[in-house]
Amino acid sequence: AQSVAQPEDQVNVAEGNPLTVKCTYSVSGNPYLFWYVQYPNRGLQFLLKYITGDNLVKGSYGFEAEFNKSQTSFHLKKPSALVSDSALYFCAVRDPFSGGYQKVTFGTGTKLQVIP
């Protein structure tokens, strides 16, 4: 069975500082990994994904994520945080070799608070 963990319920960072939101996963094979962002009372918006290739993936709004197979992690990063980055962030995993319907498993979310 596949799973994903976001160990921090909330991350606080000062505006202009680098930010990291952590994610670890468990799948039987090579994973597909995703990051989404959710603003209050809105749906999730896709930020970036890792399928294969370069371990550093770049996405929307200046975000990037680093895939680390040995540590089974896929941490979200941004070099300089903005107040407008404050939101709820979800990591998600899919096992492409599960056959048939490829279920996506979402983490419980990490609330990012960027302090002015």
Partner 1 sequence: DGGITQSPKYLFRKEGQNVTLSCEQNLNHDAMYWYRQDPGQGLRLIYYSQIVNDFQKGDIAEGYSVSREKKESFPLTVTSAQKNPTAFYLCASSLIQQGAGQPQHFGDGTRLSIL
Cβ nearer to partner 1, comparing 69 with 103: 103
> Given the rule CB under 8 A, which residues bind partner 1?
9, 32, 34, 36, 41-46, 49, 51, 90, 94, 96, 101, 103-104, 106-109
Minimum Å gap between C-beta 101 and partner 1 is 7
Cβ nearer to partner 1, comparing 81 with 109: 109
Cβ nearer to partner 1, comparing 78 with 94: 94
Minimum Å gap between C-beta 108 and partner 1 is 4
**CA separation for the pair 67, 76 (Å, rounded):** 9
Minimum Å gap between C-beta 48 and partner 1 is 9
**CA separation for the pair 11, 20 (Å, rounded):** 8
How many angstroms separate the Cα of 68 from the Cα of each of 56, 83, 84? 9, 28, 28
End-to-end, the C-alpha distance of the chain in Å comes to 41
Cβ nearer to partner 1, comparing 15 with 44: 44
Tokens of 93: 């995993």
